[in-house]
Amino acid sequence: MSVAEIKKTKSNLIAWIEQLSDSNMLMVLDGLRNAKTDKDWWDDLSESQKKHIGEGISDAENGRIVSSDVFWKNLKDA
């Protein structure tokens, strides 16, 4: 991307952000702005969260899964 293209893109983004009224979108953009790209998100998880993710991976690897259709049907019927 050339310097001129970068300037044009920045200008377009600034204009777009200035007209935003969706607070959720603004929060997402602010989160991106504050995101630390040199750190892995895994490091920010608690040990409990890591344990639950590991259990989910183990369940999937061992075939202990249900389709989304079955999940939603069971939830609806509960």
pLDDT higher than 90, residue 18: yes
Gyration radius from the chain CA atoms: 21
Please report, rounded to a whole number, the percentage of residues in the chain having pLDDT higher than 90: 77
69 contacts: CB under 8 Å, gap ≥ 6: none
- Read off the tokens for 72: 């939603």
Tens digit of pLDDT for each residue in 58-67? Answer: 999 999 999 9
Tokens, residue 24 = 């959720």
Q: What tens digit of pLDDT does each residue of 20-66 get? A: 999 999 999 998 888 767 778 888 899 999 999 999 999 999 999 99
pTM above 0.75, yes or no: no
Geometric angle at alpha carbon 11, from 7 and 16, rounded to 5°? 150
